Structure 1
Amino acid sequence: MASAAQTTDSPGETHYEQHYLDLMRHIWLHGSERVDRTGVGTRSVFGATLRFDLANGAMPLLTTKRVYWKTATREMLWFLTGNTNIRPLVLQGVKIWNEWPHANYVRETGDQIALDDFVQRIADDEQFAERWGDLGPVYGKQWVDWPTFRYRKDGTYEPGPGINQVAEVVESLKVNSGSRRHIIEGWNVAELDRMALPPCHKTYQFHVADGKLNCLLYQRSCDVALGLPFNLWSGALLQRMIAQQVDLEPGEFVWMGGDTHLYLNHAHLIEEQLSRQPQGRPRLEITRRPQSIFDYRIEDFEVSNYTPLGAIKAPVAV
């Protein structure tokens, strides 16, 4: 992997973002070219790792292009509701999930409605949204309502109470901080075929040491150019929220990628971003401590010292 440049605030200190840029450069120059599910094609490596220290409000928020952290935050808050319909996101102007239900609608109905028109109909027509805006049992459903079944004496099964993994992790961190079972899992094998997209950021594990909460996020599949900037912010955000709820300081955020790739049609984004230098060190302040992990609002999060370079647009592979 390319050596890290010294783009820093202090002499001799590598800017946290340089590790992301080094990973991007390494994949683009040395990744294995592959045919992928979308048909677009990727360059890919397997088993990447990034580490970030979240002390003093630090966050892995990229500065070499604008990352819409409020959009990523709204998505995380939506996950925590357990909702799987895009309408609450659409009504907040969040567009990141629109392509999947749109593609499903076109495929099933044959109606070649434009994406913007489809999204507007989701916003305007609650019944239409209920039918066509649902993504299946993705992320939030598994996080806060993992399905269970009870065995009946007649040999059949009936639905049991769902498992709120997030609430259980928060509670276990409070009462048994040394446990090695502080895990939130999204990969429910029995329901993968019902999901618009099987979970990419699939496993979160938490670890307590020296009064700090560490988090490791394993991502089975990672679009480094478009997805990873959001994933880094969101994973660290969840860690910060949970740390506040359990009276711990945020420690290290560790990201691990399985199939870690760049799409071949993102060349302009990659080359432009790699030509830029990181700048500044943004900080996140959580301005309120709500009663539970499920009660945060977008207004509770303030970012300072964030002066990114401009956004770089590229198509999403569906």
Structure 2
Amino acid sequence: MSKASNPASHPDHPEWQYLNLMRQIWTTGNERADRTGVGTRSICGAQLRYDLADGAMPLLTTKRVYWKTATREMLWFLTGETNIRPLVLQGVKIWNEWPHARYVKETGEKIALDAFVERIADDESFAARWGDLGPVYGKQWVDWPTYQYRKDGLYERGPGINQVAQVVESLTSNPGSRRHIIEGWNVAELDRMALPPCHKTYQFHVSTDGDGQSRLNCVLYQRSCDVALGLPFNLWSAALLTRMMAQQTSMAPGELVWMGGDVHLYLNHAHLIEEQLSREPQGQPTFEITRKPETIFDYKIEDFVVQDYAPLPPIKAPVAV
């Protein structure tokens, strides 16, 4: 079927942005060694834009994206939790490889990943010791550390900064501000993190449409982006956070602008890339939040509904750790 004969495959369909970026990297990207040892093809700098009006979301249809998994991860971030156990108990697997690799390295025990994850689920004390990721995303978002100078010349931990709550408040009280920012890149704590933040900076912007309706836009800067496996989740999650913020501040969702720094594809994802690039978008799913909780920290997975999502099958590929 040609793009012209399939309405979903119209050249203006938002999913073509993602597919075109994937094709650009795979055909023109610079082949490089990387931290994982797998190797990538990479370009420097990219931008995607998605209008979130009328229930639209950047949810890929050329392969199934497990949006509930991404949503559970976002809700986990908002708790400030850094241990994988709450995710494991919900069947969310996306962070398992990092603590497993640390456990094997530090103990020398050649435990299989599935067995390690089972121990995390069954043994709280084991999970407390080995399931923590360090001060990753959620910790920085809702409990950015501060320090206070004492009279004896030493420093002690001060009250943490809840960046998310501050942005909700500032959007409400001062929508024209240029400081609606959630930052994850805490230089002082990077070496304690299992993985330094990839989607690191969120900036929110309020615009007004022709009818006087305030619209909430979001710019996400991502320093490092695995386009095949990571970006589908990152786009969904950023759009989800924008919609939650918009609802909490009584605005309409506007535009998500995604910007990537080191934008890459792993060499061992060739089968995924080539298969996905042979596919075409399958309709345009829509999204609804069914209730407005008291705060942005009170959403539950049941509050989110996706309609008309009929994607092509998933394409499995290994995660580079």
Place the TM-score, normalised by the shorter chain, in its bin.
over 0.9
Correspondence 1:192 to 2:169: no
Given that residues 9 and 280 in structure 2 are in contact (C-alpha distance below 8 angstroms), is that contact kept between their aligned partners in structure 1? Answer: no
Query: For 2:224, which of 200, 216, 221 is the aligned residue?
Result: 221
**Alpha-carbon distance in 2 for matches of 1:279, 1:111:** 45
TM-score (norm 2): 0.96
Could you tell me which runs of 5 or more consecutive residues in structure 1 were left unpaired when the two chains were aligned.
none
Offset at residue 6 of structure 1 (A) = 5.5
Question: 1:1-318, aligned counterparts within 5 Å?
Answer: 9=7, 14-210=12-208, 211-318=214-321
Q: How many residues align?
A: 314
Indicate the RMSD between aligned Cα atoms, in angstroms: 1.1
Offset at residue 9 of structure 1 (A) = 3.3
**Alpha-carbon distance in 2 for matches of 1:9, 1:305:** 15
Given that residues 150 and 159 in structure 1 are in contact (C-alpha distance below 8 angstroms), is that contact kept between their aligned partners in structure 2? Answer: yes
Given that residues 79 and 139 in structure 1 are in contact (C-alpha distance below 8 angstroms), is that contact kept between their aligned partners in structure 2? Answer: yes
Q: CA 1:264/1:13 → structure 2, altered by over 3 Å: closer, same or farther?
A: closer
The amino acid that maps onto 1:153 is: K
1:43-74 superposed Cα distances (whole Å, 9 cap, x missing partner): 00011000000000100000000000000000
1:151-170 superposed Cα distances (whole Å, 9 cap, x missing partner): 11222101000000000000
Offset at residue 14 of structure 1 (A) = 1.1
Given that residues 69 and 230 in structure 1 are in contact (C-alpha distance below 8 angstroms), is that contact kept between their aligned partners in structure 2? Answer: yes
1:90-110 superposed Cα distances (whole Å, 9 cap, x missing partner): 000000000000000000000
**Alpha-carbon distance in 2 for matches of 1:239, 1:146:** 21
> In the alignment, which residue of structure 1 is the partner of 2:211?
none
**Alpha-carbon distance in 1 for matches of 2:232, 2:277:** 14
Q: CA 1:131/1:6 → structure 2, altered by over 3 Å: closer, same or farther?
A: farther
SS of equivalent to 1:89: helix
Report percent identity of matched pairs: 78
Given that residues 6 and 14 in structure 1 are in contact (C-alpha distance below 8 angstroms), is that contact kept between their aligned partners in structure 2? Answer: no
Structure 1 stretches of 4+ with a deviation exceeding 4 A read 5-8, 10-13
Given that residues 38 and 317 in structure 1 are in contact (C-alpha distance below 8 angstroms), is that contact kept between their aligned partners in structure 2? Answer: yes
**Alpha-carbon distance in 1 for matches of 2:8, 2:310:** 18
SS of equivalent to 1:95: coil
SS of equivalent to 1:18: helix
Given that residues 6 and 15 in structure 1 are in contact (C-alpha distance below 8 angstroms), is that contact kept between their aligned partners in structure 2? Answer: no
Q: CA 1:8/1:52 → structure 2, altered by over 3 Å: closer, same or farther?
A: farther
**Alpha-carbon distance in 1 for matches of 2:30, 2:269:** 16
Q: CA 1:7/1:213 → structure 2, altered by over 3 Å: closer, same or farther?
A: farther
TM-score (norm 1): 0.97
Could you tell me which runs of 5 or more consecutive residues in structure 2 were left unpaired when the two chains were aligned.
209-213
Given that residues 122 and 133 in structure 1 are in contact (C-alpha distance below 8 angstroms), is that contact kept between their aligned partners in structure 2? Answer: yes
